[in-house]
Structure 1
Amino acid sequence: MRRQTILAAVSSLALAVAVAGPAFAQETQPLAPGDTVEGEIAEGDATGEDNAYRYDAYAITAVAGQRFEVVLRSAAFDAYLEVATQGAEGEPLGYDDDGLGEGTDSRLRFTAPADGTYVLRARPLSGIEGGAYSLSLTERPAPKAPPEPARINVGDTVTGELAEGDAETDAGALYEEWVFTGRQGDRVQIGLDSDAFDPVVKIGRIAEGAFTELGSNDDGPDAGLNSRLIFTLPEAGDYVIRATPLNTGDTGAYSLSLSEGPPPVEARAIRIGETVRGELTDDDTPGAGDIRADAYRFSGQEGQRVRIDMTSTTFDTYVELFDENRTSLASDDDGGPEGTNSRLIFTLPTTGSYVIEARAFSDARGRYSLAITEVEPDKPPQPLAFGASLEGEIGETDSRDSDDRGYDAFVFEGREGQRVRAIMRSGDFDTYLQIGNAEGDFTPLAQDDDGLGEGTDSRLNFTLPADGRYVLRASPLGSDGKGLYALELEDRGPQPRPGSLLVGTTAYGTLTETDATAEDNSFYDAYRVTLKEDEKLIILMVSNEVDSYVSIGRENEDETFEGLAADDDSLSDTHAKLEWTAPEDGTYEIRAGTFQQGQTGRYALIVEKKP
């Protein structure tokens, strides 16, 4: 890391970028409970993936368990809301289209899972057209304790009504519960019908005062939006049926029926190592999803790993594995190597009989192929020392992960806060690296595909969260990859401490591979500033060598970083601009980083008071 703080005006490079760049288009604005914002989606706003829509973004600071309701109204467009943890990728925490029940306006309810900052997007459902809107945020009170479930017996049909004041899930969906008693192996069929909302039926048990879901259904076959669920009780006792809507905020009357389920699909024998060809027809018996299915029974040993493949050129396949009591153990839809085919890899927990149900994802007919093969058991990880380099090979006899990738595993000892780097190169396949804890089942804590910036080679930077043993997995990205590779493991030492920066100054720095790394493995330099409550800042980060990403936050008592606001491209395509107000007196940390991991290069960071 090389950085320099200069008590001077903005450099000529930074000034040129600030003046010549496009006008400020989009920034994350703070939004607090009680706020109502009158805004407009217009040309120049940020756009979503593939320019599919424009949006305005708002930052909500929350503590774990805090409950919110967001309402977006517009006469100009079909309103849509989504919320996600700041900096997170993948599916949002919650979203809503027409949940307000007033035409196309939106109401989103969500509960913060942890302390931190959450980004709310207000946008049209689709399209780059926009217009004026009104956005409000309110804090919701703690949920009321749910009442004792009402009793329902097999053969009963009961009616109920979801209304304001009923118990709610963390996502804000209303629900009512019914309880029944059954024996191990009993099969029940549950129907939930409503003309007022799209119903979802769930079955589970109460454990330590909390509902644990065991099965659910949204739209049963041939039932429109109504729900049908066939379920086999794994043990004797009380079970809870939960009636709830698909969309939060929906209310209305419903009817719930509980009856004996149809007999299980008769299972034919199949041996491990065998491939069978079958056909789903109108004569087949409904399976666990109330969808016509074929069933196959096989015997296995405790600890044995099996792979179940189902393929079809006619329909979207779905495979589910059960124990001999027809309790579901695992399932897969599109895990196969091609299209909508299924692949399930599973380690058998006990010696005995198991049942496979082969069916379509939605009710369909047609021919298919089903194969079950034994997978090599996991090989114990080999010790790997820091500073070591080795050459290896991924082949047919290597261990396979849940995505059917062959891999080699290595174990190393590390300390809390230690920064490690693994580099994997191969001329034979697209490399992929994962790090996880050595104890228990392997769960990745971090992964990397092409982070080295040299074609398809990998570089994974990671800060160890605790003292202990860690496993490094080296594999191809795809299940068909195999060949030679080279692997290195480096100790990068502790995370660098932040420097100091005075408001009104410019810092010139260079991001290098020795710098601190963020959770997404991107490099950053950190600067501390001392601010007064309500002091307003304008923070600019400009660079012609990296895609700038600037954030501000503070260090918690446990030395974790709490992000409060961030920006990527608000100044221009690759330059960041963040306007922010300090919520209280204190010391804050500004991070000058990159939007993409692995990027290095020079930058200028300008921190000024907002007039």
Structure 2
Amino acid sequence: MKSGILTRTAMAAILCAGLAAPAAAQSTINSTGELRSGDEELPSGEFYDLFSFDGRAGEEIDVTLTSNDFDPYLMLRSEGDFSVENDDADEGNGTHSRIITTLPEDGRYRFVITSYAAGETGAYRLQGTRSGSSAGRSTGGNSGLADSTAGTLSTSDATLDDGSYYDSYTFDGRSGQHVTILMNSTDFDTYLRVESPSGEMFSDDDGQEGSTNSRLDLDLTENGQYRITANSLAQGETGSYLLSINGARFGAGGTSGGRASGSGSSGGTSGSTTALTPGTPTRGQLAAGDARLDSGEYYDTYTLRGNPGARMAVTMQSPDFDAYLAAVGSDNYSVENDDDPSGGGTNSRLDVTIPSDGTLTIAATSYAAAETGSYTIRADLSGASARAASGERLELGRSVTGTLTSSDPRGEHSVEDIYLIEADAGQSLRLALASDEFDTLLRVEGPGGFSVENDDDPAGSTLNSLVETTLPQAGTYRVVVASYSESGLGSYRLDSSGAASSASGGFTRLTLGRTVNGSLASGDETISSGEYVDAYTFDGQRGQRVTFDMTSSEFDTYLSLLMPGGGSEANDDRAGGDGETNSRLTVTLPETGAYTLVATSYQGGETGRYTISSTVSAGGGAAPVVAGRSGGRIFALSVGVADYGGRASNLSMTDQDATKLTQTLQHTGMLAPQSATLINRQATRANFIEAIADIAGTIGPDDLFLLFYSGHGSKQPVESFMERDGTSETIELFDAAVTDYELGQMLEPIHARTLLVLDSCFSGGFDDVVNRQTGRMGVFSSDSDLTSLVAQKFAAGGYISHILQQAMEGSADANGDGAITAGELSEFMRTTFYRIALDEPLQTDAYGASGSRSQGYQHIVVNRGGDGMPYDEVLVTLASR
């Protein structure tokens, strides 16, 4: 049974009926409950209860779970990747469990109350303290600590991914300010890291050569709150330290006010809900007789509607009471605020993002119980959303010149100029931005969340930008001219061109279920690599499962589908084999809106007749298979080779990649006992084949087979009928290679969903393995002709290994529902990789079919088999957090 603090779900459910009471600066947790046979179960069979609270960065947690009826087990999870758990507080004492830790960031946290063994039941008590949070009203400043503070890294502190302990601090900085941060210790080798408000990272190990102290000299480039991580260079080091800052003040953890979720039901009923119109102030009155929270505050509710993803600022001002705002919406969206961060005081400001259904519920209330009086509430578009309605009209086919100046509005990267384009669905668009005075950045944004961005023209050797795309929906598109550098200014030239694309030279609508005949011909629109294209548009419904077949006897076909939200799926060969020139694309449509199907050729300049047929089923009626909730398990074959015994050059940490992944999967409670981990000398070809065969004999259709490999990859010559370029890609085991076509044959007996993750050179060539069957997904560290790099900065054998580890620890769970879907994993792997590559481009080697070598850049390859693994398919269910 659950008691005490409400979960987020409960909080959202009662928003219109009651918000929560203000949190004290120090609070006590003292709750009792009972594990019963009807409670929710972990995948491994233990019953559990959940207790949730809103935590603050720097808050100290000391909580103990006791029971006379069972062996307690306590876990603490955040919505991010923070996780700590304990079985026995003292070695040899099996009667209670204790967690002592420091919360790393603001956000929602959950205690998981469970037992050490499956099926245990009985009464328990959860008690302890939360201290150190500044949960009262914010004054707009810092926590009042001095410019130097003494701290201690201890075994009860939170840990980073590498196992090192850390403490977290914040300070408010302003653009142009110079700060010096020092961390000194005689007990351990210090490590400092600072994160800016926009996420830019700065770090330092040694203040000077040979020193164990750290020093960072920073010229701040933006206003806002900066976060300091005080850390050790090596894993597990502890001891005292002195942290000091010159030029700003800092405090432990966050400094903003907040309130925790209360318990019980609302003390009143919801009144009528008023629509809140952006840009229009609305007057209201909190009065006796209004609906009340269980903690005694009166409240009014408002409905705020907007385009999904739009950012808005909601403000509430009152001369009579201390205002408080909260908002909830779909996708578990929840946010609240006491004081306007720009000025403190008694007014409130809430920065919100409109969720996927376009609606938010806003609660206007007071900070203290029973306060009454008049107030004004309003919502305004902010950031890019506010600028969407303004900008100079750009006529396609014309060139414009402009200048970025310091007085222009500032966007995400730098100051910006905005141009607006009116376009039809299926419109092709080509924009070229050039400047001799700054490194250009070009972005196009449009209806349904469409966004495409380019920093450097793919032609290379230039700081200019080029965007070539097909617009998926009719409407107004924003062209953003910006600088890659935050301080870039100067003159520029923007060239534009565009035309409607279709098989007949005009705009073509596609009727699902019917067949169309077309022809690629000289004079059609082309993409940058020279292929002619025809574009078709149709209106799709979320959940429809659509199959497109493109056939031609005159050229090698290629199909792409552009989503309303800007994503895409593509397919070259229908059967996934060599010699196949027809294309098949099967997609479960992820959203309702206008889709564009692009028909083209595999190589530039090809022409000829083709036929496109389509079939459609309602789809969406059957819920996606949920691993771990419907009996599904993870059968993992995790392989890592660093020591090749002289057969090949040794690598660094690739064996650890495999071991760490297995350990992470074990924490989900879903890892099947038939799973295998093969590292170094264990990773022979014979053992690899045997492990796959063992799994094939046990795995069921609702299970997931995860094949992970980190190590060398290579290419070897084969007959052209096997590979059209005459080479086959390999993964290099300890004693022998496995080719892409051999792996495809080995996986034939696996009749289950399959996730193939390869962190090795040329691994993109294994995409044919994914295309052989539906229900397969591949994540590869590089294209088929590019080498992959070691992720030394992340203490990992490869970048994909490092990112996959984060994903499986829970970071890929974008909506916080405790499950990772194929779509969530795709987006997390891609976006995380490109954030890393944006900070430090991963320059590597490219090898041509003839063996020629040139410079290239490592790119992640994600292949869901043209929706052979649907976007909503649940791959992994995480342990309850």
TM-score by length of 1: 0.41
Which structure has greater strand proportion?
1
TM-score by length of 2: 0.31
Task: Name which structure has the greater RCO, CA cutoff 8 Å, separation 6+.
Answer: 1
Which structure has greater helix proportion?
2
